Amino acid sequence: MINCLDFWKLVRPPFDAATDPAFFFESDAHGEALARLFYFVSDRSMGLAALTGEIGSGKTMTLQVLLNRLRPDLYDHAVLFTASGPFEAILGEINGHLRGDAAGSGVPAGRTAAVAEFRRLLREKIVALGRHLLVVLDEAQFLEPACLDELKCLTNPVDGGAPPVSLLLVGQPELKEHLRSLPQVYQRLGLIYHLRHLQRAEVGPYLQHRLNVAGSPRTDLFAEGCADVLFEFSGGCPRQINRICKLAVDRACLLQQPSIDVKILTLIIEDFKKQFA
């Protein structure tokens, strides 16, 4: 059986679904999102922010890059990738992280106990060390209004100083409308940004960037016209582009084609549409 990495002279798969920050492509939208989020965290006084985007737009990848760039001596971060449930459960996960629990677990018995433990841990683990805590709540569109209302209070100042906590809500586009319906939360937002998909002119450079990171010595692996075909199908959605390109890289390898052309992409896209119709 042909080894596709050897066939294409790659050191790693270029279009896998894993959110490896090394593959982060700084498009206009993704670069702007990263810059704004870094400003939000560095400012330390804005308290609450929201990042929205369609499924597959690259929100998680952008967050991973942001977290990797934060200095560990100045920042701690707690990330809840499926933020749901009551306030006590979410706060219990945050407390577990601050305690150093392996899985961030250990939900206290109730709200009063959870809040008391959070305040104690915040003073001991964050404030006393001159650090700042970033809490990231992914899939935040599923949070109940009452929970959001209580979560916003985590960003209040402590002992008259600057807030030691910043809360970043991440979710699909409906998160924005969800927040608008809660003026007591919406008016506390210091930043809100919607992450757009790639533009047509960015698809070609995006493909080449991922190939470069994967170790490709070539600049012509995708033939002329492929970027346009991919954009027409995906609308610039990175995840959709990756799904088709992964199949194309493997198919062209099996056929031992010297490059990936429009014909093979079109066949894969048509089959993809048929299977998911």
Give the model confidence (pLDDT) of 61-83 as tens digits.
Answer: 999 999 999 999 999 999 998 77
Please give the pLDDT value at position 1.
Answer: 65
Among 147, 170, 195, the domain boundary falls at: 195
What are the CA-CA distances from residue 68 to residues 20, 43, 99 (Å)? 11, 17, 21
238: confidence class by pLDDT, cuts 50, 70, 90: very high
Are 195 and 58 in contact by the 8 Å Cβ rule? The answer is: yes
Q: Is 91 exposed, middle or buried (0-12, 13-18, 19+ CB in 10 A)?
A: buried
Are 191 and 45 in contact by the 8 Å Cβ rule? The answer is: no
Residue 224 lies in domain: 4-9+199-275
227 and 262, same structural domain? yes
Structure tokens at 65: 């890059």
Please give the pLDDT value at position 16.
Answer: 93
Q: What does the alpha-carbon distance between residue 132 and residue 146 come to, in Å, rounded to a whole number? A: 25
Residue type, 219: T
Q: What does the alpha-carbon distance between residue 252 and residue 7 come to, in Å, rounded to a whole number? A: 10
DSSP state of 12: S
More confident position, 47 or 85: 47
262 and 145, same structural domain? no
What are the CA-CA distances from residue 50 to residues 43, 45, 157, 187, 194 (Å)? 15, 15, 20, 12, 8
Percent of the chain with pLDDT over 90: 84
58 and 188, same structural domain? yes
217 and 133, same structural domain? no
What are the CA-CA distances from residue 74 to residues 41, 77, 201, 246, 263 (Å)? 11, 10, 38, 39, 52
Has this prediction a pTM greater than 0.85? yes
116 and 40, same structural domain? yes
Average pLDDT over the chain reads: 92
